[in-house]
């Protein structure tokens, strides 16, 4: 009975729907009741921008190991906001092996991975991998500046697709060409992605300077087609490129790479060498002060500039010289001198 009632109810509902509007073949009688005029809708839903299908289903898993600092956490969050085709996962324990990430990517249905590995709470390494076949590259991340830290004037639409700009050196070296293809597949947002916007208003630039890859993000301004930096920014120092995902045979090893431990050791050695040099200078000065001065007994050049003087005859004065009167007044002195002169003239005459 319940089934019959349902069938009847469905049939009645269909009949009601059919009666509500005249069919295309039937004609509406002139004297019949007028149909209600439907007011035009004020808000209409626009059709989709493009009727394309999401074919390139690239999904990137972005997560990190335990022990990262706040700057790395903010950088990871910035990359997730800039890449709508990315997924997140919980932090991985440092005791686990790296090949476990391939299983995590398979569980998350991701075929690309960006993994941040922290060591000694001060060194940050980035893994870019094509899971599960490979290849994968390991970088040392330096000079990190996040979106909130930079406070740039640029601003782009969230979820918009970026343009990728590469340095011409990427096409000259084979290892750079491999990294270029890896960057294109990871950082480019797939077309017609459900979370992406159909706009292109910012550029990811990859520049090679000083044997390092410099990442920058710029906004395209429509007025004069100039670029304004948005952020984040960081520098990637290539360490190795592996054939497999998170391991395998080494395809390329950077000869210019210097580990952070070695760099810190060289800095300590240079500081220690400067300190030792100062101590040695102080010891030499102390030895000089304590040492006795050696006197030269005879100097052969001492008599070079001596000239013999003429010997003068020795005069012996038998008469005691007259004592000169001490007169303070000059006038009295002159008077005394005149009197002496008059006496001399008298005696001579």
pLDDT per residue of the chain (349 residues) written in tens, 0 to 9: 444 444 444 444 444 444 444 444 444 444 444 445 555 556 676 655 555 788 888 899 999 999 899 999 999 999 999 999 999 999 998 778 888 999 999 999 999 999 999 998 889 999 999 988 889 999 999 999 998 887 777 788 888 889 999 999 999 999 999 999 999 999 999 888 888 888 888 999 999 999 999 999 999 887 777 888 988 999 999 999 999 999 899 999 999 999 989 999 999 999 999 999 999 999 998 888 887 666 667 777 877 888 877 888 888 888 887 777 665 677 777 888 888 888 887 777 6
Q: Where are the domains of the chain?
A: 60-263
Query: Tokens 């054939």 map to which residue?
Result: 243
Exposure string for 207-235, b = 16+ CB within 10 A, e = fewer:
ebeeebbbbbbbbbeeeeeebebbbbbbb
Give the integer Cα–Cα distance in Å for 113 and 105: 7
CB 126 within 8 A of CB 215: no
Exposure string for 157-194, b = 16+ CB within 10 A, e = fewer:
eebbbbeeebbeebeeeeebebbbebbebbbbbbebbe
Instruction: Give the H or E element holding residue 80.
Output: helix 70-82
Query: For residue 21, which phi and psi values (nearest 5 degrees)?
Result: -135, 140
Tokens of 349: 């005459």
Between strands 163-166 and 247-253, the pairing is unpaired
Exposure string for 298-318, b = 16+ CB within 10 A, e = fewer:
eeeeeeeeeeeeeeeeeeeee
Number of H-type helices and E-type strands within the chain: 7, 11
For 60-263, CATH number?
3.40.50.10480
């Amino acid at each position: 009975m319940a089934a019959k009632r349902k069938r009847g109810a469905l049939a009645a509902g269909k009949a009601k729907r059919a009666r509500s509007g005249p069919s295309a073949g039937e004609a509406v009688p002139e004297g019949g009741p007028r149909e209600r005029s439907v007011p035009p809708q004020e808000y209409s839903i626009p059709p989709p921008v493009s009727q394309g299908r999401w074919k390139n289903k690239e999904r990137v898993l972005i997560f990190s190991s335990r022990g990262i600092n706040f700057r790395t956490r903010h950088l990871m969050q910035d990359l997730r906001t800039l890449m709508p085709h990315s997924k997140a996962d919980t932090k991985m324990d440092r005791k686990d092996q790296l090949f476990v990430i391939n299983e995590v990517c398979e569980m998350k249905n991701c075929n690309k991975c960006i993994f941040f590995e922290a060591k000694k709470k001060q060194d940050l390494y980035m893994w870019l991998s094509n899971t599960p076949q490979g290849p994968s590259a390991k970088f040392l991340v330096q000079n990190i500046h996040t979106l909130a830290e930079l406070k740039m004037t640029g601003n782009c639409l969230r979820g918009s697709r970026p343009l990728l700009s590469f340095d011409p050196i990427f096409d000259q070296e084979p290892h750079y060409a491999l990294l270029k293809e890896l960057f294109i597949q990871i950082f480019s947002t797939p077309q017609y992605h459900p979370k992406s916007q159909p706009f292109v208003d910012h550029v990811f630039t990859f520049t090679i300077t000083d044997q390092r890859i410099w990442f920058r993000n710029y906004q395209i301004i429509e007025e004069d087609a100039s670029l304004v930096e948005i952020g984040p920014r960081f520098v990637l120092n290539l360490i190795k490129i592996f054939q497999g995902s998170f391991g395998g045979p080494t395809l390329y090893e950077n000869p210019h790479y210097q580990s952070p431990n070695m760099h810190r050791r060289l800095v300590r050695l240079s500081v220690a060498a400067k300190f030792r040099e100062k101590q040695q200078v102080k010891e030499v000065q102390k030895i000089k002060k304590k040492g006795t001065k050696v006197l030269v007994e005879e100097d052969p050049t001492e008599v070079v500039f001596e000239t013999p003087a003429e010997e003068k005859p020795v005069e012996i004065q038998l008469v005691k010289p007259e004592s000169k009167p001490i007169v303070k007044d000059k006038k009295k002195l002159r008077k005394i001198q005149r009197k002496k002169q008059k006496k001399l003239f008298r005696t001579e005459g």
